[in-house]
Structure 1
């Protein structure tokens, strides 16, 4: 078991933004979260990361209610990359990534070999080692996102949660970032807009609408013509190659 949502409810006033959501993320796999704007994706991710408290239901980490964890303990195992993550423009890449070690350190502890190892491995895995001394403001959009991922990996998380990390990136950097995330040996939950990218890189999908889960399963089971029409209001032809089980969506004009 890794991370589990148990009948989650979260409201703004009397409106239920998340309404009875339950699922369990498969350990070590990439779970994609889909849905139109306003479906509750970001709110759900923030509940899973422990940044919001549900009005009802529970988020479980290895069978234990996340509300029983201290904030520091959550940050030691759950890394969250926001949709519009910001960073001090005066920092270097290495300084940004080092921030990921903050949950594992105390006010009096010095920098350790373990901290160095975690930072260097994060830079290496994200392909940012050669940029470690570059200024933040000199980076491209794709490089900034990779640095945010490196900072998250430096936390040594068991779970990685990402809210539409490919927004505002060109196609090359979108694909590069998704390849990286899908290759990570940790449990990852990612909100995406691009349905074909979700089909290509995610092991399983959840589709939300108006705060509910309306479909869940493998990409080939979830992404049907009927669902695309009813949830996303688009007509499409879905193609599956006999040599490649993942579906590809062709949108109709």
Structure 2
């Protein structure tokens, strides 16, 4: 077990946003979070990242409750790429990625060879080495997302959480970014809108509706025609590939 949520409940005022949600991501697994807008995906990721405490239940990293772990220690192993992350336009790519080393540094520590290696590795994994000296404002949307991922990887995390990272990207950059994430040797939990992309790249899926888990498991078991109609209100035909039972969804008019 890498990261686990146990019976998480979280509320805003009198509204229950997450209701007894449980899930588990195994080491090296890519777990997809699906659900309509307002189903609780972003709130769940923020709880998993330790940014908010649940009203009940707990989040476990290995065998430790995140509430017993310091914020800096969590940041050293859990990286969160938020949907609307912002960056100073005057920074170069290399400077943005260096920000990922902040959790590993003390107030008086100098820049170390380990910091340098982590940044270089992150740039290479994200395919942004050639853009290291470019300024943020000159990058395309897909390149900016890759830099955000490089900054997260510079933390040298064991768990990578991503909130709909393919939003507003063209199809080429969507596929490229998901290939990048699926090829990383970290545990990743990723919220997605595109069901076919989730089926193509994720090892397992968790489907939320109104803050509750309504389905979880292998994509071929989860993405059924009945679920698509019941949860997403769409009529569709689902085909399974012959070898890997990866579903492909054909939306019907």
Please give the TM-score of this superposition, normalised by the length of structure 1.
0.99
Instruction: Tell me the SS of whatever aligns to 1:8.
Output: strand
The corresponding residue for 2:131 is 131
Name the residue aligned to 1:238.
238
Report the Cα offset of residue 243 of structure 1: 3.5
Give distance in 2, aligned partners of 1:201 and 1:251. Answer: 19
Aligned counterpart, 1:195: 195
Q: TM-score normalized by structure 2? A: 0.99
Alignment gaps of 5+ in structure 2: none
Query: Counterpart of 1:245 in 2: which secondary structure?
Result: coil
**Counterpart in the other structure of 1:122:** 122
* Equivalent residue, structure 2, for 1:219: 219
The Cα shift of 1:83 comes to 0.4
Structure 1, residues 160-206: CA drift from partner, whole Å, max 9, x if none?
A: 00000000100000000000000011100000000000000000000
| Alpha-carbon shift at residue 241 of structure 1 (Å) | 2.3
- Residues paired across the two proteins, number: 253
What value does the CA root-mean-square deviation take over the aligned residues?
0.6
Report the counterpart of residue 50 of structure 2 in structure 1.
Answer: 50
Partner of 1:162 in structure 2?
162
Using the TM superposition, give the Cα deviation of residue 244 of structure 1 relative to its aligned residue in structure 2, in angstroms: 4.1
Deviation of the 1:24 alpha carbon: 1.0
1:141 maps to what in 2? Answer: 141
Are 1:66 and 2:66 matched, yes or no? yes
Structure 1: where are the runs of 5+ without partners?
none
1:63 Cα deviation after fit? 1.1
Q: What does residue 207 of structure 1 align with?
A: 207
Is it true that 1:153 corresponds to 2:156 in the alignment? Answer: no
